[in-house]
Amino acid sequence: MAFHKPMNVLCQFTDRSVPPRPTLAGFGLPKGVYAAGRLDFDSEGLLLLTDDGALVAAIGSPKFDWPKSYLVQVEGTPTDEALQRLRDGLELNDGPTKPAEVAVIEAPAWLPPRDPPVRVRQTVPDAWLRLVIREGRNRQVRRMTAAVGLPTLRLVREAIGPYTLDGLAAGQWREVRAPELPARLRRSGAPRVATHSARGSSLEADSGPSRPAARPGLIRPWKRDGR
C-alpha cells in the first residue's frame, strides 16, 4: 500500500500514550499490513505498508538502498557552501552521512498548507529543498539541515524508490504492485508468492500447491508448509 501520512500520525496502529495519539488505525487500511520503514510523527508524506514480513524487514534494512526523496522547507537562505556540505556528506553525532542529492526548488504548488500551520518568522526568510538520501537514520533529514544552519520547518517524503505520492491527498492510500527484492535481501529459502497490481494484472507465483486467491494488490506471506 502507498499511503500519504498526515502530520502528527504515528506509523503504527496502536498507541499506549494517555491520551492516545492518532495512528494508522484511523484511515481504513486493510487488516494485517505494517509499515515498511518509518516516517517521523511530525513528518508527512509517503509511507509503504505490506503484509509481507520479508518486505518489511528488507525495506527497513541498511542494505536496502532505494533513494528516498524529501521536500524540505527550511528556515534561512541556503548557501552554496551549505548545499555542498550536504552533497559531500557531513558528520552527525552517530557518524558521517552518505552524499546526498540536494537542490533549491520553488515551493511545491500542489502541496496544501500544513495543518497545523508552519510557524515562520516574518524577519527570517525560508526556502524549499529537494533532498534525496539513501539512508534512514532517526530524524536524519532534520539533523542534516540543522547541521548546515538550515532548521527544518516542514518535511514531506515524496518518493521511495519507484513509488511516489502521485496525487494522493493526506490520509489517502492505494494498492501498488510489490517490488522484486534483490537476492541479497531475500530470505533464504523464502517462498515467492503471487502479487497483483491495483489494475488487476498479476505475477505468477513459483510452482507449488494451489492457494486461496489473495485480495488484489496485497502480498500474502505463506508459511513453508503452505498454510
Q: What is the DSSP letter of 145?
A: H
The span from the CA of 55 to the CA of 58, in Å, is 5
The span from the CA of 146 to the CA of 74, in Å, is 9
Shortest CA distance to 185 belongs to which of 1, 67, 57? 57
The span from the CA of 128 to the CA of 149, in Å, is 14
Q: Cα-atom radius of gyration of the chain, to the nearest Å? A: 19
Q: Are 39 and 203 in contact (CB under 8 A)?
A: no
Q: What is the DSSP letter of 88?
A: H
Q: How many CB atoms lie within 10 A of CB 30?
A: 13
Q: How far apart are the first and last CA of the chain?
A: 23
Residue 109 one-letter amino acid: A
Cis link prior to 19 (omega < 30° from 0)? yes
The distance from CA 97 to its chain's CA centroid, rounded to whole angstroms, is 18
Establish whether 40 is a catalytic residue: yes
The span from the CA of 26 to the CA of 55, in Å, is 23
Catalytic site residue from 40, 42, 51, 65? 40
Catalytically active residues are 40
